Structure 1
Amino acid sequence: MLTMFEAVKESGSYLILMLAALYILYRVHAEKNQWYIYYALLCLILVCANPALVWILSKVFPVLGTYVTFLSFVPTLLFIPFAVAELTDKAKSARQAAGILVLTALLIGLAGNLFGLYQNGDNKAIQYGESQAEVVEVIKEQQPEMVLADETVLPFLRTKAPETVLLYGRDLYQHGMDLGIIDLYGEELLDLYEAMKNPKDTIDDILSMADIYGCDMVIVKRFETAPAKSGHYTKLTDNGQYIVYMIQ
């Protein structure tokens, strides 16, 4: 499930569908039942802004982007059927109603709401899973003392290799750059967190800082110009999604 959400989280197109559905509901009910759309919007705000719910989901989905996607994903599926029902109700013929249903299904598929159809998301999710499994195999083979890993592979490592010591994990990614965690982690580690977002331009800094913190393995997102070897590190593997470096 995590890999499926990971495969579609880069797409914001499902939000367009949700807004379109809300607009349709508003137009239909504006004159007779205006409370309907206000009630729906209130529910959406309460769901997405509920600290208790966010806290619960953070325990289920350790990566920030995953449960934010989940929060956006659920209301979309709730609003669209109501909007489609209203449109088919207003249809002048059975053919027009069928056309609305088919068009909606195509839009949902393109937007990624069917668990990864956007940009061949199913295949992409499988590739993510296989790549993460390969990373775990490398970790088990090399048995590093401490690992610095990209945020997208962290949940997989916690599940499949819970004994792995991570330089940082849940708290840093969950709270992002909130000032409340600076005292806990230190500004240098926050700089490292930022550098991990774009390893193509910062790989040397990443490896140097990781070495200072005592890491002997670094896992970054794959990029084309990744160096194979330097004085203090070696590229162990490149599986199409991630690159694993061993610091000597």
Structure 2
Amino acid sequence: MELPTTETLLLALEGGVLHVTLNRPDSRNAMSLAMVQELRAVLATVGGDQSVRALVLRGAGGHFCAGGDIKDMAGARSKGVDAYRELNRAFGSLLEEAQAAPLVLIAVLEGAVLGGGFGLACVSDIAIARRDAKFGMPETTLGILPAQIAPFVAKRIGLTQARRLALTAARFDGSEAERLGLVHFCAADDAAVEQRLAQVLEQVRQCAPQANAATKALLLASDSEPLGAVLDHAAELFAVAVTGEEGAEGTLAFVQKRAPKWAE
């Protein structure tokens, strides 16, 4: 697999894990249109490669992401409403694609996790935050809307809490993010973050990649499709899995009391 060339991202593929670092530290990794396009290209490249088991997304320079790039927004002003609409919707497409990616998406959150960065946290499968990270949805303090992230925030933490946070622009730390269900783990310092990340990645490696991808798609579908249709489709997926290569290997490994091939 050949990864795309990027200017705003640092990419490192190690042991089936793609580490993606947002790399605009001078702007606290503000989300420019170039960064959005590069992230979408990376997701498109790795989405069909089952050798990549997980994608770890984090930020350079002590911050995850401080939101949208104000310079990009200022540059769109001369082009009118359509330019703003396209700029905003491109980020929404990134969130859709990140959420639906068949691999496990892990967000490591520190420093600023604001606006668009908040949205990225909400589409991760597993989120690990430093306790002193600063979360918030500051859009309304700028006279704008959290337009593309709002649906993902509401799905993540519930409509009641999403309304409170969006309509007050309240800031909160990693401990509160864990209480809200925005993140799964809250760590005291860098060493604790790395320890938790290593533990999560080891757990992911125990799971068969095709089974994980199908399970993630099933869970996402269960949130929006009629129950009967979801269960019918789930039965088909189960039959294919249990008679397929991974199912055969997994059951054989269990009987032989050994690790399956994907966990070696």
TM-score (norm 1): 0.27
Higher relative strand content: 2
Q: Which has the larger radius of gyration?
A: 1
Specify which structure has the bigger relative contact order, considering alpha-carbon pairs within 8 angstroms and separated by 6 or more residues.
1
Which structure has the highest helix share of the two?
A: 1
